[in-house]
Structure 1
Amino acid sequence: MRLGDVVDPDDLAHGKPLDGVRVLALEQMQALPWATQLLTRLGAEVVKVEAIGTGDQGRGSLPAMTAPDGRPVGATFLRTNLNKRSICVDLKTDRGRRLVLDLAPRFDVVAENLRAGALDRLGLSYADVAAVHPAVVYLSVSGFGHSGSPYGDMPAFAPIVEAMSGIYEMKRTGDQPPVVAPVGALGDIGTALFGVIGVLAGLRHRDQTGRGTHVDVAMLDAMVSMTDIVTNLWSMGLRGGDVGPLLMHGFRASDGWFVVQVGREHQFARLVEAVGHPEWAHDSRFATRQGWLDHLETVLRPAIEGWAAGMTSMEASRALGAVGVASGPCLSDEQVVADPHLAVRDMLVQVPRTDGVDQPVLVPGNPVKMSGVAQGPETRVPWLGEHTDAVLAEELGLNADSLRTLRADGIVA
């Protein structure tokens, strides 16, 4: 999907489920911006409040492209800020704070992911916003929440809360250091999903009661939920990387690796028959699931990899899938980009570069598909403060003279 692609008019006629929902986002980096971007894809309007001069910290990430004004626009920002408008306000000034409080009642949702307590000090906490907008759904995303965590004073990024969830230690072996960020931004995007769920529930709660709510999502809470096997299996007497007798491993084919998961006896029987050893389904060595693991390296791996040696990883996966054994290839980045599934599902958005490089930036598309609801069109990320004048004029009725004064005084940019 290219940025700005025209969508089917019949789909547009039905609208989107969050049409009319308005979000004022005091956000940076990835967790909350990913959440608000998903809300835009479902129809919400998002106005992003950024710091004067630097803007969202994600703008400074690398790699980056150059915006028309010469500022860098980092990859983190490019991935998470489609379809938004940007205003720049100095929140550390009384006049800047007042502007945000004046804007808040015109929005259904106010969302923030500054360090816990930062907006309390600025006079923009849930209590401050609810005082002028009692029906607000106020989303806070932070490392450790707003309920008195002993870690409340600690800064947090995705790898920090991932580590504290226990999953790094569970997967670590021997004296090797932990593998940090093994699945990209699990800590950010996992948290973002809970944030979106909280906003949707908050809007429903408001519709039913007329009252707003404070949705408080802690990244560590989200990671403990996403890595639920850590605490659950510990409670059942398992330790470390021991996830029980489950054949869930990677095997080599002619062009790379493929992964197989077998957790039931009938699946094991189908696997060994597919690789040419149906008799192993009745072999005493494999009579228990633990036996599968005990003989993995000495018996099963040589047989499976010998069978797959003349096939690609996709061919091997297809062959196993055809007999009911779950399997999939380990794709490289280039293979993922070229994968036909992503094309069919509109899961890559092409963002044209602005610095002369003849290669669009690829951003994941909307994973939430709904019948009768258009996918897109998407609009590019906003340049820093691109919409300050327009938003303040539209929402607060400020005229050109007032805007010039605010700019001259360093309140907005």
Structure 2
Amino acid sequence: MLFGPDTGFAMTGTDAATLASGSKMSYKINVPAAGTYNVWLLTKSTDFSGDSVHVGVDNAYRFTANGIHGVSGGQFKWANISGATGGIFGGAALTLTAGEHELNFWGREDGLSIDRIYLTTSGSTADPIWPPVQPQEPTASLSGPSTVKPGASFAVSLSLDEMIQTVYAEDITLSYDPEVFEYVSATGANDNIQIAGEDKGTAGEVRLIAANIGGVSGASTPVLNVTFKVKAGVHNKTGTIAAARAELGVTAAGTEIQAALSSKRIAVGSADVVVDKTALTTAIANAQSLHDAAVVGTQPGQYPQAAKDALQAAINSAKAVKDNASATQAEVDNAVTALSSAVNTFKATVVKEASADVNQDGRYSVGDLALVANHYGKDAGSADWTTAKKADMNNDGKIDIVDLAFVATKILK
């Protein structure tokens, strides 16, 4: 980019009309995260009368940098035009919001050449390394045991790595070898991560919808603990569990990005005679929590009394098998299946209402779930309830797991 030959021209005015009459170069930029950015230029000028430039964002003037660097020799060199050092006058850092912007340069004087433009939040005074090191995309990383016993249940942890934005929700599909493993259940890695929806209708796959209350970020953050079980009769085999799809809802605006994927190979050892009740114990605890939290009523998010009574009866039957020291593995497995069916039947009886298209983009997605998660815990007494109440799916005057589950149900359809 060259702002004309050195003719002595100077455009010192910075009002909109003056800038519109001069030479301008503009570049579309996508800012990954809000912050304060220094502007570096790889630039040269013919002499001291061509060493300045006006800078703006989205066609709005921000600052003028004058005396960018020594011009003797006319060689390209890096200069931080946001810094008021090294002879530069008037420089200023750019405060930018996340998302797409237009970076503008207006020629203040003739004779300035720009070869590279680099924006960074770093305060380093060292010349930039070109090309700059690009940040990695987030990765859905799996960790767990490398070897398990036949018939055993085991947990696989899913973490989000290299996050440069805050993630409020996940739409994760895990694939697994259905001849080797069975999916059992999933929970959030902590109390602020809620499993809002689950779809295990496809053999060898489970889709999990999760909301992160308050959001998660960082170099490596666990988000899901997923329990699998070795299928009956399987031994001396190796199977793979993989993150097949990972869509993330980021920022309070409900933006969606894709994460890189990973997999985990797990070997099943030699056969042992063992009755493993881990999955049954977990299923009973989850079902009891669901039952105890369910509210009887006719409002959206509530349940019929008869449905709640039926679920408790199924839980009691499963407890009887768990407490039976003579129960076979087949009986334990059948109890898990029966209780899972009862839980699904109970969930289907929830009173439904409202539109889950919270961000009004014409579809149900983790963008909608992220908006609800962003307002989690608020109620009619909150100061910003006028804004937050759009996330109240069942119109009960509060935003909780029932609202998250309602949106997740719509996403899974």
Query: TM-score normalised by the shorter chain: which range applies?
Result: under 0.3
TM-score (norm 1): 0.26
Please identify the structure whose Cα radius of gyration is greater. 2
Structure number with greater CO (CA < 8 Å, separation at least 6) is: 1
TM-score (norm 2): 0.26
Which has a greater percent of strand?
2
